[in-house]
């Protein structure tokens, strides 16, 4: 079993050019202490800058979304072909903010995932239940649906390029992280479900996301089956992101 440890920062719609330059100059001093993979997902307009600054430190870059088409008349969209072409490594697909605010359906997310993989990008595919769904005992059902629909027709050869992020919607940006036991159980459920679906899920990295911070990351990452994290707020400050990467390197 060999699962890659990943600390992925999802910057969402934040960071200026100045803040990004400062972030990387602070990171440069500590990068040698990282043994995990460090991935950063900036706004699309900053992909090139983050790629240049990140490359020197071995940090990988990728956007927070992509189109379900490679080219054509799709104003405002981001082509997976162009994402690969500019040197990005991965793309985040199915983040709850895309599902909820932009009404992205499981079917569209499936198209995006297959096309991104076809362009030799890695995909961080996000799943997670709302508070209402958790309280209604629907967590497993929701995860099953998101995984079944979103990963439909996944080519066997592309399984190695897939990363799952389990992000309970109620924990995102709320300061209320899942307990380590809740996260561990959800990760185990996801892995077992994918094994049943015929995937080589023992080798698949599953990241936890939702209010991960330097003061809760150690306990979360100590759980069986949690292979890293997808972090929003706490990834914006270099000092916090450094601590997160160091915790993930143990
Ligand atoms: P958060 O965001 O760490 O700010 O909760 C996580 C995410 O949305 O990926």
**pLDDT 10s digits, 93-140:** 999 999 999 999 999 999 999 999 999 999 999 999 999 999 999 999
Residues 6+ apart with CB under 8 A from 76: none
Burial class (CB in 10 A: 0-12, 13-18, 19+), 216: middle
State the pLDDT confidence band at 54, using cuts at 50, 70 and 90. Answer: very high
Q: Is the CB of 210 under 6 A from ligand 1?
A: yes
What pLDDT does 42 receive? 98
C-beta of residue 167 within 8 angstroms of C-beta of residue 127: yes
Assign 48 a pLDDT band (cuts: 50, 70, 90): very high
pTM across the whole model: 0.97
pLDDT on residue 177: 86
Phi and psi torsions of 205, nearest 5°: -80, 130
Residue closest via CA to ligand 1's atom 3 equals 232
Query: Which segments of 156-242 are extended strands (E)?
Result: 162-166, 205-209, 228-231
Q: Is the CB of 231 under 6 A from ligand 1?
A: yes
Residue 167 a catalytic site member: yes
Q: Whose CA is nearest to atom 7 of ligand 1?
A: 232
Q: Is 68 in the pocket of ligand 1 (CB under 6 A)?
A: no
- Give residue 32's pLDDT: 87
Residue 37 designated active-site: no
Long-range contacts formed by 221-227: CB under 8 A, 24+ apart: 221/247, 221/248, 221/250, 222/180, 223/180, 223/181, 223/183, 223/184, 223/187, 224/184, 224/187, 224/188, 225/184, 225/187, 225/188, 225/191, 226/183, 226/184, 226/187, 227/3, 227/4, 227/5, 227/6
pLDDT of residue 1: 60
Distances (CA, A) of 113 to 56, 116, 123, 219: 28, 5, 7, 31
Could you tell me if the CB of 168 is within 6 A of ligand 1?
no
**Where are the extended beta strands (E) located within 118-176?**
122-127, 162-166
Options 97, 104, 167, 187, the catalytic residue: 167
- Mapped onto helix, strand or coil, the DSSP state of residue 49 is helix
pLDDT at 64: 98
pLDDT at 217 over 70: yes
Q: Cα dist. 212→90, 105, 128, 173 in Å?
A: 21, 26, 15, 9
172 lines ligand 1 (CB under 6 A): yes
Q: Whose CA is nearest to atom 6 of ligand 1?
A: 232
64 Cα: distance to centroid of ligand 1 (angstroms):
12
In the structure, what pLDDT confidence band is assigned to residue 2 with cuts at 50, 70 and 90?
confident
Strand partners, 91: 123
Q: What is the pLDDT of residue 211?
A: 95
């Amino acid at each position: 079993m060999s699962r890659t440890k990943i600390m992925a920062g999802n910057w969402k719609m934040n960071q200026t050019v100045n803040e990004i330059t400062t972030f990387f100059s602070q990171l440069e001093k500590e990068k040698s202490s990282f043994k995990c993979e460090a991935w950063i997902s900036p706004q699309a307009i900053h992909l090139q800058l983050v790629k240049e600054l990140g490359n020197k430190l071995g940090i990988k870059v990728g956007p927070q979304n992509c189109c379900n088409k490679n080219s054509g008349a799709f104003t405002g969209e981001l082509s997976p072909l162009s994402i690969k072409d500019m040197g990005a490594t991965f793309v985040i697909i199915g983040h709850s903010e895309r599902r909820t605010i932009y009404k992205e359906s499981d079917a569209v997310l499936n198209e995006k995932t297959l096309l991104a993989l076809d362009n030799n990008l890695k995909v961080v595919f996000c799943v997670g239940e709302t508070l209402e769904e958790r309280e209604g005992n629907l967590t497993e059902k929701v995860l099953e649906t998101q995984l079944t629909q979103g990963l439909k027709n996944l080519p066997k050869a592309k399984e190695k390029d897939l990363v799952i992020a389990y992000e309970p919607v109620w924990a995102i940006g709320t300061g209320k992280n899942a307990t380590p036991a809740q996260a561990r159980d959800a990760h185990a459920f996801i892995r077992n479900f994918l094994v049943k679906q015929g995937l080589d899920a023992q080798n698949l990295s599953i990241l936890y996301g939702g209010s991960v911070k330097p003061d809760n990351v150690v306990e979360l990452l100590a759980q069986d089956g949690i292979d890293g994290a997808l972090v929003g707020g706490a990834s914006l400050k270099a000092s916090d992101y450094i601590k997160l990467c160091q915790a993930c390197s143990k």
